[in-house]
Amino acid sequence: MSPSSPLTRRVLLAAPAVLACAAAPRGVASSRAVTPLSGLHRRATRGNRFFGTAIDPGLLAHDPAYMARVPQECGIVVSESAFKWGALRPRPDAYSFDGADALAEYAARHGLPLRGHTLLWHKDNPAWLDEALTPAGGERLLTEHIRAVAGHFRGRVVHWDVANEAVWPPDGRPGGLRDSPWHRALGPAALDLAFHACAEADPAPLRFLNEDQIEYAWDAHARKRGAVLDLLADLLARGVPVQALGMQAHLEAGVTDLDQTALARFCADVASLGLRIAVTELDVRDNRLPADPAIRDAEVAAHARAYLDAVLPCPAVLGVLTWGLSDRRTWLNDEIPRADGLPQRALPLDAALRRKPLWHALAAAFESAPPRPA
């Protein structure tokens, strides 16, 4: 994969689903039919970008309609949880790849490039890790895990979120790093170890630092953007092989503090380090909005559009993944439920897999953004 291309051209344009559709007999693909040629990824590729989504293991296993819809809209997928320590490591001496392999096999079957998420995080770790993660044993534990996991998926993954949410200035650690079990055991060197181990196990995937809470004009977000930039510059200066920044973009409709200028400047600053960028977990929660679906859908769409119009023009921004494709399933209903108990309307498709205003906002943002250089 060349540095400027979001994915290899082969996987972008030759996905069987796309070719199959192009060959569909006349009259099959009516104007209302959903075909990969009209999907969000296809629209993103016209500007040399990608669109994809995160897949929950439960949907992959039990919702064929949802999984049939993914290739019609997406050109890359990632697992919400199957590639994390919590899913992969039932015991210190064991790996359980079944869930992750199931998504990898689905992705390969549909010609969909796969993101790996994530090799180093302070959450979703197995219970045994706390005891095993000592200054003496931590380095071997981390590097062996990454060698095993990145090695297992060698040749099957195009991106790795090597480190997830490593920056949290309120913890007061030097460099604004998060007070995580990894940091307590290994210090800042945990990041260096992770990126080097990933590069050694599989040099091909683009290696990301994936970060949240860097979206708004709030002091905390501005402080974190600064800390992320400083960390990336420091890693690069020390020869740590980080190549890209993931901006999670878990947004909230009704928040008025979206500073498009600050966002565009942040993307330019990251790009000036020679790094690529992806929007990795876009969704727009609607907790602040009234129950009326039409109001929620319109404000969610407008909010996402404002964010994407700020970041997509940066040539370093390779593409966008949403954290789920349909309101049928979003982590938000589990973790940040609406006070009225109504399901969130945070994603491009509704629970019946129909396109919503957010879908059209994404399509319009891809179509209006200046094409990325080839």
Q: Which of 81, 125, 180, 322 binds ligand G3I (CB under 6 A)?
A: 81
Among positions 202, 215, 252, 281, the unique one binding ligand G3I when judged by CB under 6 A: 281
Helix/strand/coil percentages in the chain, nearest 5: 45, 15, 40
Binding of residue 230 to ligand G3I (CB under 6 A):
no
Of the residues 45, 53, 72, 164, which one makes contact with ligand G3I according to CB under 6 A = 164
- Separation CA 213–CA 198 (nearest Å): 25
- What stretches of 110-247 show up as alpha helix (H) in DSSP? 129-132, 135-152, 181-186, 189-201, 219-237
- Minimal distance in Å, beta carbon 248 to ligand G3I? 5
* Beta carbons within 10 angstroms of residue 367's beta carbon: 11
Nearest to ligand G3I of 250, 276 (CB atom): 250
Stretch that binds ligand G3I, among 53-61, 67-75, 148-156, 179-187 (CB under 6 A): 53-61
Helices marked H in 238-313: 260-271, 293-311
Taking each continuous run of H as one helix and of E as one strand, the counts in the chain are 16, 9
Stretch that binds ligand G3I, among 29-37, 76-84, 101-109, 180-188 (CB under 6 A): 76-84
Query: Which tokens is 180 given?
Result: 């995580």
Q: Does 331 bind ligand G3I (CB under 6 A)?
A: yes
Report in angstroms how near the CB of residue 121 gets to ligand G3I at its nearest.
7
* Beta carbon of residue 232, minimum distance to ligand G3I (angstroms, whole number): 18
Nearer of residues 98 and 105 to ligand G3I, judged by Cβ: 98
Q: Does the footprint of ligand G3I cover residue 276 (CB under 6 A)?
A: no
Task: Say how far apart CA 193 and CA 196 lie, in whole Å.
Answer: 5
Helix (H, G, I), strand (E, B) or coil at 24: coil
Residue 8 backbone phi and psi in degrees, to 5: -70, 145
124 sits near ligand G3I (criterion: CB under 6 A): yes
Q: Which is nearer to ligand G3I, 21 or 253 (CB)?
A: 253
Using CB under 6 A as the binding rule, whether residue 350 contacts ligand G3I is answered as: no
Q: Which residue, 161 or 202, has its beta carbon nearer to ligand G3I?
A: 161
Any contact of residue 329 with ligand G3I (CB under 6 A)? Answer: no
Residue among 15 and 194 whose Cβ is closer to ligand G3I: 194
Element (H, E) at 210: strand 206-211
CB neighbours (10 Å) of residue 317?
23
Torsion angle defined by CA atoms of residues 311, 313, 317 and 319, in that order, rounded to the nearest 10 degrees: 90
Q: Give the number of residues in contact with ligand G3I, rule: CB under 6 A.
A: 14
Angle, alpha carbons 146-170-87 (nearest 5°): 30
**Residue 57, interface with ligand G3I (CB under 6 A)?**
yes
Tell me the CB-side half-sphere exposure of residue 45, using CA atoms within 13 A.
22
d(CA 280, CA 250): 9
Query: What mask of x and - would describe binding to ligand G3I in positions 248 to 267, judged by CB under 6 A?
Result: x-------------------
What does the per-residue mask of binding to ligand G3I show for 293-312, with x meaning CB under 6 A?
--------------------
Nearer to ligand G3I, 15 or 162 (CB): 162
Binding site for ligand G3I (CB under 6 A): 56-58, 80-81, 84, 123-124, 164, 212, 248, 281, 331, 335
